[in-house]
Amino acid sequence: MMTSKPASFWTRYANPTAFQRLSNQIAPLAGGAAIAFIALGLWFGLVASPADYQQGDTVRIMYVHVPAAWMAMACYTSMAIASVAGFVWKHPLADVAAKSTAPIGATFTALALVTGALWGQPTWGTWWVWDARLTSVLVLFFMYLGYMALWSAIDEPTRAARIAAVACLVGFINVPIIKFSVDWWNSLHQPASVIRANGPSIDGSMLRPLLLMAFGYTLAYVWLLFVNMSAELAERRAARLLAGARPTATLVAEPAE
Amino acid sequence: MRGLSAIIARDVSLAFRAGGGAAQTVIFYALVILIFVLGVGPDPAVLSRVAAPVLWTAALLASLLSLDRMFQSDFEDGSLEMLVQRTPTPGLLVLAKALAHWLTTAGPLLLATPLLAIIAGIEPAAVPPLMLSLLVGTPALSLTGAIGAALTFPLRRANVLMTILIGPLFAPTVIFGVAAATPGADAAPMLFLGAATLSTVVIAPLAGGAAIRFNLQ
């Protein structure tokens, strides 16, 4: 009995209708909480926190930038985990989750790159430097784009999922490189200051908005993920219904490879 | 093992036959260098600074040329499925194909490099480190390229998609390759370049083999 319990949990939500019910409950909750956390984080970040003694008010960009960069890596990691799950256990929703994560992760990566450039101009005196951290995050952005291009190039969903999973896992090498780039190479980008062996090196008044934003972003990811996955499942159902209703039409529409 | 050497020998002899592409790769390599040099201008001080990166970039672009055909032509005439059935694991096939690709692209490129390097304004003393960095780094280009080719061979217009997928993965090889080509550089970039190449020796058969299996299902 004990062993069959987790299996039933996983298999229950392999049914798209059951998943749709779960999604309909979780998505609005996560969305509401995300908006609340981000609003609170922005209030603390933009109004109720001190300006940095060196950076001045520019430091407030960090409350948008740092959690976005965390999410850029976290989304790719989730994509890799979902790819492995789709690969090993052939769970149909794992493939959908991996595919649905990519545009969200790409958006967080773009947000991190843009806010980083906006912060770099007044602080470093340049929009962009080709150092290890910035370059590896840019590479991450291109990997998201390549992953999405691969999905859209293959018509058949199961094969697309397997092929995209291989590409995703090869690209995962980049994630630890991003994480440790500031330690391995002499970089203009500062090293980690929140998750450190001796505790965070930033003041509580600045840590509070940072963590609130990070929670908000994570909840926003959950929200958008469920919305994306529902849309993907609905799209596939529509494609199946369409193929069933007009079998000859699809035969004509798809040229022989 | 004999089967694998037969695959390599077949691909190499196909590439060196008339219209096989090995000669075209070298011509393309020379043309890219020519265009870069024309774009940069004839100032010797600037040229000697940018020539090694230009040669590396040209070698990378030239090795992309024949990648999309690595599995595609065999897939189209049906021989790929037979090859996969007859090799113990598709990973070995990827290694053999990548090695044949390296022999037929990097080989001719390396032979042409000393002459083109001098024309492009590289000091004669800087040619050996450049040659060594190309020798150590180009296998990674062929092996990484084999992953991209294995992912995309059944697709129409595979070429552009493959380039988008493997382009980011070329970053470490180009960075360390150019650093190692600089005369008087310490050993670190060359060691990192070697490490990048060796890691692709492990990753390419695993990822490429899986991709071939999924694409043939």
Chain A contact probe: residue of B71, B76, B151, B176 with most A CBs at under 10 A? B151
Judge whether A141 and A110 are in contact, CB under 8 Å.
yes
Nearest CA in chain B to A174: B169
| Distance, C-alpha A153 to centroid of its chain | 21
Give the residue from B99, B82, B109, B77 showing the smallest Cα distance to B200: B99
Average confidence (pLDDT) over B127-148: 95
Q: Identify the burial level of B93 via C-beta atoms within 10 angstroms of its C-beta, where 0-12 means exposed, 13-18 middle and 19 or more buried.
A: buried
Chain B contact probe: residue of A142, A163, A181 with most B CBs at under 10 A? A163
* pLDDT for res B10: 87
Whether B165 and chain A come into contact, CB under 8 Å, resolves to yes
- Check CB contact under 8 Å for A153 and B152: yes
Burial call A204-232: b when 16+ CB within 10 Å, e when fewer: eebebbbbbbbbbbbbbbbbbbbbbbbeb
* pLDDT for res A121: 87
* pLDDT for res A146: 94
Contacts of A145 in chain B (CB under 8 A): 164
Inter-chain CB pairs, A–B, below 8 Å: 55
What is the rounded CA–CA span in Å between residue B85 and residue B130? 40
**In the structure encoding, which two tokens stand for residue A48, read together?**
């109720």
- Check CB contact under 8 Å for B168 and A170: no
Judge whether A83 and A169 are in contact, CB under 8 Å.
yes
Nearest CA in chain A to B163: A146
Which of A203-207, B23-27, B101-105 has maximum average pLDDT?
Answer: B101-105
- Check CB contact under 8 Å for A153 and B215: no
- pLDDT digits over A2-27, tens only? 444 555 666 777 777 888 888 889 99
* pLDDT for res B6: 86
pTM: 0.86
Give the residue from A148, A78, A43 showing the smallest Cα distance to A106: A148
Contacts of A176 in chain B (CB under 8 A): none
Whether the CA torsion A208, A213, A214, A215 is positive or negative: it is positive
- Check CB contact under 8 Å for A159 and B152: no
The CA distances from residue A127 to A96, A117, A124, A136, A159, in Å, are 36, 5, 8, 16, 41
Nearest CA in chain A to B144: A170
Q: Which residues of chain A have pLDDT under 70?
A: 1-10, 186-187, 195-200, 245-257
Whether B161 and chain A come into contact, CB under 8 Å, resolves to yes
What is the rounded CA–CA span in Å between residue A160 and residue A152? 8
Q: Residues 6 or more apart from B61 whose CB is under 8 A from it? A: B28, B29, B32
Judge whether A204 and A49 are in contact, CB under 8 Å.
no
- pLDDT digits over B47-69, tens only? 888 889 999 999 999 999 888 88
Q: Which long-range contacts (CB under 8 A, 24 or more apart) does A180-187 make?
A: A181/A132, A181/A133, A181/A136, A182/A132, A182/A133, A184/A132, A185/A131, A185/A132, A187/A131, A187/A132, A187/A133
Chain A contact probe: residue of B170, B214, B217 with most A CBs at under 10 A? B214
Whether A90 and chain B come into contact, CB under 8 Å, resolves to no
* pLDDT for res A254: 44
* pLDDT for res B184: 78
Judge whether B91 and B209 are in contact, CB under 8 Å.
yes
Average confidence (pLDDT) over B148-164: 90
DSSP A100-125: HHHHHHHHHHHHHHHHHHHHHHHHTS
- Across the interface, of B167, B168, B214, the residue whose CB is closest to A162 is B214
Chain A contact probe: residue of B72, B94, B163, B164 with most A CBs at under 10 A? B164
The band of B93, judged by pLDDT with boundaries at 50, 70 and 90, is very high
Whether A145 and chain B come into contact, CB under 8 Å, resolves to yes
Q: What are phi and psi of B154, to 5 degrees?
A: -80, -5
* pLDDT for res A113: 94
Q: Which helix (H) or strand (E) holds B136?
A: helix B127-152
Higher per-residue pLDDT: B150 or B19:
B150
Return the amino acid letter for A136: S
Judge whether B170 and B145 are in contact, CB under 8 Å.
no
